[in-house]
Amino acid sequence: MNVHSLSRWLLEQEARALLTRLERVKPFALQETMLPAAALSPAALVAIERFLIGNRYQLREEVRAFIRWLDHDGGGVEPAELQRRFTTVRLRFNDALSQFDLFSEVITQRSESETGVWLSGLDVCAADALSLPGGYFTAPQAICYLARGPGAAVRRARTRLPGGGDNPVAIVRVPRERMVGHGIASSLVHEVGHQAAALLDLIPSYRPLLHAQAQHASHDAEAWDLFERWISEIVADLWSVAKLGIGSTLGLMGVVSLPGWFVFRISKDDPHPVPWIRVLISCAIGDALYPHPQWRQLAALWEALYPPESQSLAKQRTLSTLERTIPEFVRVLLEHRPPSLRGHSVGEVIRDDARTPDRLAANWREWRGRRDRLREAPPTMSFAVIGQARSLGLVTPEAESRVVGNLLTYWALRSTLDIAEMCAAPVSPPTRREQRLLQTQPV
C-alpha cells in the first residue's frame, strides 16, 4: 500500500473500532443492579436514557458518515486532512462517553448498601426543596450522588453538557462526610437553590440592582460591589434558610468552620462570599424571614469563634464595612420584585409562616412521640424541625443521625411504592394489618 491508501485503511479501522465500542455502551436499565427503593424515579431515568440514546444515535451516524466519506471521497485527500477529520469524530466520541460516565457515577452509587436507598430519599427531599407554590416554574427532575470533600455542587438541568445537548435532569453532588444529619439537608437545599434561582432568572435581575447600589453608596461601594460578585451563592443560601430555618445556617457553619486564614479570606475572583461574612448574612436572612433572638445569638457565637480582631487593620475595615451593610443588603434581597414572580417580592414568595423557630420547636415537641407526623410532613419541613431541635439541644447528634437515616429510608420506600401503585393494575387497598406493618418502619 502507498501512504494514501494506508492512511485511509488505518482510519477506517479506527472509525469502525469506535462504532464497536459505542455498541458496548448499554442503557443503564440493562446493566445497573440496585434495590427498587434505591432506583431513580422513572421520570428521571427515562429523561437520562432518552438523552443518551439520542446522542449515541447521532454519534453513530457521524462515524458512519465519515466511513462513507473515506470510501467515496477520501481517495484524493491528503493523509493530514484525513487525520484531522477523524480526530474531530473521535473527540465527539470521547465527549459522548464523558456524558455516559457522568450519569454512570450518579447511578452506580445506587447499588451501595444503605447508601443507595438514602440517595433515593435525598431525591425526594430535593424535589420538595425545588417546589414553590404559585406555579412560577416547572421543576425538572433532580437526582443526588455523593462525592469526597466538604463542598456540594449542582449541574443544573437545561444547561449545556460537554459534547452538546442540554442536561435532562438536575444533578446534585453532596459530600459523603455529611451523611447523615441535618447538615446533609443544608448542602442539598443550597444546591437546589441554584437551580431554583436559574428557573426564576433571579441572578440577572439582581445584578443591575446591586450595581446601582454600589454607584450611589459612596461609603459602602466596596461592600455592594462584593455583594454583586457573590450574589449567586447568597441567593442559594437564601433559598436554603427559607426552607430549613436555622438548620441551614448551622449546616453552613459546619462546612466553613476551617482555619482562620480560610474563614477570613477575601477574593474578588471567588463567587463564594468570605466565609466569616457569609455566616453573618445567613443569620441576617433568617432574622428577616423568621424574626427570633436565636439568629443574633448565633451571629454573636460565630464572631466569638472567629474574632475579626485577629486580622490585619485593612481586612478589619473591609469586614466592618461589609457587616455594617448587611441589613440594607438583606432588605434589598427580600424586597426585590423580579419579572418572574409576577409582581411579588422574593421575600413574600419564599417565606413560610409554618417554619418560624417557635412553630418548628413546637412541632418537634409534639412529633417526638408521633413518628408518623415527622415522616409524612414535607421532607424539608422535617429537616427544618430537626435542625431547630438540634439548635436547642433537644436532640443529640447520635439520635439525629438515626432519625435522618430512617427518614431517608422511609421516603425512598414510600416513593417507590407510590410509583409502583400508579403503574400496577388496580388492586385491593391495603388492609389495616398491611398499613400497620408499613408504619412499623423506624424513625
pLDDT, tens only, 348-380:
999 999 999 999 999 999 987 777 889 999 999
Q: How many domains does the chain have?
A: 1
pLDDT of residue 45: 86
Domain membership flag for residue 69: yes
pLDDT of residue 431: 66
Of residues 440 and 189, more confidently modeled: 189
Domain membership flag for residue 204: no
What pLDDT, in 10s, does the model give residues 55-65?
A: 888 888 889 99
**Residue 81 reports pLDDT greater than 80:** yes
| Percentage of the chain lying above the pLDDT 90 cut | 57
pLDDT of residue 147: 86
Domain membership flag for residue 93: yes
Domain membership flag for residue 128: no
Domain membership flag for residue 72: yes
Closest CA to 37 of 93, 105, 95, 121: 121
3-state secondary structure of 155: strand
Are 197 and 240 spatial neighbours (Cβ–Cβ below 8 Å)? no
Give the full edge-to-edge strand order of the sheet including 142-147: 142-147, 170-175, 153-155
3-state secondary structure of 181: coil
Closest CA to 415 of 132, 142, 168, 111: 142
Domain residues for the domain of 86 are 3-111
Domain membership flag for residue 266: no
Phi, psi of 70 (to 5 degrees): -60, -45
Of residues 17 and 439, more confidently modeled: 17
Task: Report which DSSP code applies to 429.
Answer: P
Domain membership flag for residue 47: yes
| Percentage of the chain lying above the pLDDT 70 cut | 93
3-state secondary structure of 146: strand
Domain membership flag for residue 244: no
Are 300 and 289 spatial neighbours (Cβ–Cβ below 8 Å)? no
Phi, psi of 4 (to 5 degrees): -60, -50
Within 10 A of 150 (CB to CB), how many other CB atoms are there? 14
Cα separation of 416 and 8, whole Å? 53
